[in-house]
Amino acid sequence: MKSALLKILASPVTICGVALGLRFVFIGAQCLRIPREVLAVVPFQQETGNIAYALVQGHGFANVFRGDTGPTAWLAPVYPLLLAAIFKVFGAFTFSAFLTIVSLNAAFSAAATVPIFLAARRIAGPAAAITAAWLWALFPNAIVMPFEWVWDTSLSALLAATILWATMELGVGNERPNWKSWTGYGMLWGFALMTNPSLGSVLPFLLAWLTYRAVKWKAFGWVAPALVLTVVLLCCAPWMLRNYQQFHRLVPVRSNFPFELWLGNNDVYDLHSPHTRTRITRYEEARAYAQLGEVAFMDDKWRRARGFIASHPALEGELVARRFVATWIGLESPVQGFRSGPSLVRWALLCNLIVSLGALVGIIALAIERSEFLPAVAAFPATFPILYYATHTSLRYRHPIDPVLVLLMTVTLRWIESLPRSRRFIESFDSICRAFRL
């Protein structure tokens, strides 16, 4: 009976079910605490909700600030289209629509346990796979995020975990190429880029690793990775053509990078600037956007951001350092936040510090073990956050790579357990427990 119970607890299906249940419990608790009329409107008062509403109203992929401001490429298309479909069925800005989308977010988050399990098993074996899946099921960020953000965040985490696992499977080597698998890998990347283009920062490194592995097999060399890149471009081509038709310039997926860069790099951060006391408000930016149009608005932000960065090199270095800390711990001043913040903030900071340090040690452990998968795994934490070091950051922006961090945390735990001193400590602890019949 004990063996059967352990087998059930080790099943990815069980872990996925528990993960989904925990996320639903959090959603239910928050829905009881927050009035329904608030949840029906407030979570959608951002770019995703505005574009989805424009789609439902028949205005196309447009009106990023809710007003009649015309076509936009502010966001990638997948998630706004998903939300628009939900609006079409359950009504725009209704509690039913909100409950549906956050339930889907929870399902995306819970489903990530499966690729995490498979990737960890490939790297470190069955025990590590079970540990990694359970850590993700219980990870506070993953429980909170599906409710807190009506955004592609949870779906992106699922896609990142799936991409890592699929990359490992293709990278293990095969004398005869499975062209269907390589084509499917390219389609997976195409869908991921149409959901969250920031994941594209990892693509060159994973493709380089796969190319190296394929050349090493001496079976089909660079042909298969070239096929992947071709499929990715074909998946993105319709959206790119649409953007070119609307804006008469190349907009690969999203247009809003200049705005995000300016948002984190402007005169407000310069204490000696006369604009220091000027507040950046959504109303003023929406008005400027409506007056200039998306192309001119982004050009203006690009000039301003570049000018600020060029004229404030020392301050820019300080801002990047702050964003680095905020990305991995949660706040730009975590010590102050831990001292003065409520208990929930303290737990969040502590949890993210442990996971971040665990991920770092996990990379070191894979390097010491000379793991063949080190380049593929390390590419995510090494490259994905760079965009946010340059612009602005939060734990929400880092969340797509959290499954990889949890996996690396598991590698750390396995590595520590394998150390001789650690084993002796664990055996001594077990002996003490048996002596006191604990």
- Distance separating alpha carbons of residues 367 and 118, to the nearest angstrom: 21
Q: How confident is the model at residue 1 (pLDDT cuts 50, 70, 90)?
A: low
Burial grade of 81 (CB within 10 A; 0-12, 13-18, 19 or more): middle
Kindly give, in sequence order, each residue whose CB lies less than 8 Å from that of residue 378, ignoring residues fewer than 6 positions away.
363, 366
Q: What is the pLDDT of residues 246-285, one digit of tens each?
A: 999 999 999 999 999 999 999 999 887 766 556 688 889 9
| Bigger pLDDT: 314 vs 5 | 314
- Assign 62 to helix, strand or coil: strand
Joined tokens for residue 64: 């990023």
Average pLDDT, the chain: 91
The pLDDT tens digits of the residues spanning 28-51 come to 999 999 999 999 999 999 999 999
Percent of the chain with pLDDT over 90: 76
Q: What is the model's pLDDT at position 265?
A: 95
- d(CA 255, CA 221) in angstroms, rounded, equals 35
Q: pLDDT digit string (tens) for 143-175?
A: 999 999 999 999 999 999 999 999 999 988 665
Handedness of CA 399, 105, 140, 129 (dihedral sign): negative
Q: What is the pLDDT of residue 249?
A: 92
| Integer Cα distance of 62 and 293 in angstroms | 12
DSSP string across 197-211: GGGGGTHHHHHHHHH
| Confidence at residue 436, expressed as pLDDT on a 0 to 100 scale | 45
